[in-house]
Structure 1
Amino acid sequence: MLVMHDCGLIFVRTRKTAGTSVEIALSGHAGERDIITSMSPRDEALRTAKGGRAPQHHLVPGHTPDKEPVPPGRGPGVRYYNHMPAREIRQLLGADTWDRYLTVCLERSPYEKVVSLYFHRHRTEPRIHIEEFIESGEFKDAFNWPLYTDTGGEVMVDVVIRHERLQAGLDALCARVGLPALVLPRAKSQFRPPDSDYHQVLTPAARRAIEEAYAPEFAHHGYSW
């Protein structure tokens, strides 16, 4: 999650949508006043290697972090965190700032997100079967709808960039806010095998479960099998 004051941009980070790569790229253009939330130690190492600005202004004022890295999510002293819902960001920043800035998030086909999450959580063989992954309920962890909608289900962000048109969407975004074109690092893409098309990975039962659990995303964005 990023708040970039100079260009008036708020990036609401969603799950399994290349959000890590985009946040790393954006943080390379952030300034001293901007809010940058923390990521995992592995992703922070990649951010440093790519010249991105480190986390800043994301802690409660006056809080001194422990020697261990501040966790990416909620935690003691953490004010802004990586997968923070838009409604919480708006509340902390204030409605005036939220309304003046351009707000953006990324989204992706639920089928793709679930398969990506499956291979991210189970990176090596022998993996559990996809049906077991579905039955565990873990597959719902990539449900992004609550991250960029209000409690009534209305989309709160100005722009939703679709993963299948990611580069074109980012180019348009950067042109709109006056940022240079982004060069994305390949964060986390190594976990999913190259031949893992969701049509082959997902069983009929898995497909039905995803369509039920992610129904608002299917309905709003028009994703289909």
Structure 2
Amino acid sequence: MVFLNNEKIIFLKARKVAGTSFEIALSRFAKAEDIITPISPNDERLREELGFASCQNYLDQNGNQIFKNHISASEAKKKLGCTIWNEVEKCSIVRNPFDVYISLFYYQNGSAADISKLTEWYFDGKGSSYLGINHQQYFVKDKMIIDRFVRYENFEEDIQKLEEAVPALKGLYSIFSNIKAKSGIRSNASYDLDAIYYNHPELKDKIRSLHSFEIAKFGYHAL
């Protein structure tokens, strides 16, 4: 999560959408009063090497962490308060959900993981907790609250639109495009979605049901 007070923008970080690279880039524009949540030690070192603001203002006066990296929209609203929440633009990144589920599977199980176990892992294994996970950043009590989505598949176009809307963020895409946190952006071309989900019809139907919002709004291939 990154909250830029002057720019009135809060970035809610979904999973497996190149969010770490994006929040590092956003931290370039942060001031002393802004909120930046911690990321992994390696990525914090990268942020430090770039000379950007590091994690700050995420603890309360007693040293307890109140703002977390993947904080949900509902929790962020509660912590920031309705006055701030209602006046800021809520931004997040969206990605083809069929791609997200495969990326999560490999991220959690390693690049050599057996893709034939995809359905089993999500329905019977540890992956069940990830079903619909990014909706924690997109919705509050079933109401979609994101004002600006940046599409994973259209980073350049959408980030440049953000720069145009918020001139103080000029240069954001150039910064973002040169950051490769957590191995950078993985291309959809690295695997064939149709071929993979052909062997996982039950999971495919589950994703269609859970992510009808993304499929309808952004035209993602429903397979």
Percent identity over paired residues: 28
Retained in 1: the 8 A contact 2:36–2:57? Answer: yes
TM-score normalised by the chain length of structure 2 = 0.83
In structure 2, how many angstroms separate the alpha carbons of the residues matched to 1:17 and 1:126?
Answer: 20
Number of residues of Structure 1 aligned to a counterpart in Structure 2: 211
Letter in 1 for 2:164: A
> Structure 2 regions of 5+ residues with no counterpart?
none
What's the CA shift for 1:139? 5.8
Q: Deviations over 1:84-140 (max 9, x none)?
A: 122221222222222222221111111010111111112243546323323325165
Question: 1:10–1:31: structure 2 CA closer, same or farther, 3 Å change rule?
Answer: same
Instruction: Give the C-alpha shift of residue 147 in structure 1.
Output: 1.8
With over 3 angstroms needed to count, the CA separation of the structure-2 counterparts of 1:90 and 1:131, relative to structure 1, is: closer
Instruction: Find the aligned partners of 2:211 and 2:220 in 1 and give their Cα distance.
Output: 10
| Equivalent residue for 1:209, pick from 201, 206, 209 | 206
- Cα distance in structure 2, aligned partners of 1:214 and 1:140: 15
Q: Please say if 1:145 is aligned against 2:135.
A: yes
2:168 matches 1:171: no
Q: What corresponds to 1:67 in structure 2?
A: none
Unpaired runs of at least 5, structure 1:
64-76
Letter in 1 for 2:147: D
Is 2:171 the partner of 1:181? Answer: yes
Question: How far 1:30 moved relative to its partner?
Answer: 0.7
Distance change (3 Å), C-alpha of 1:78 and 1:87: same
- The question of whether the paired residues in 2 share the 8 Å contact of 1:161 and 1:169 is answered with yes
Please tell me whether the aligned partners of residues 85 and 146 of structure 1 are also in contact (alpha carbons under 8 angstroms).
yes
SS state at 1:104 partner:
strand
Please report the TM-score for the alignment, with normalisation by the length of structure 1.
Answer: 0.82
2:56 is aligned with what amino acid? Q
Q: Is the 8 A contact 1:3 1:9 kept in 2?
A: yes
1:30-109 to 2 correspondences below 5 Å: 30-63=30-63, 77-109=64-96
Higher helix share: 2
SS of structure 1 residue aligned to 2:71: coil
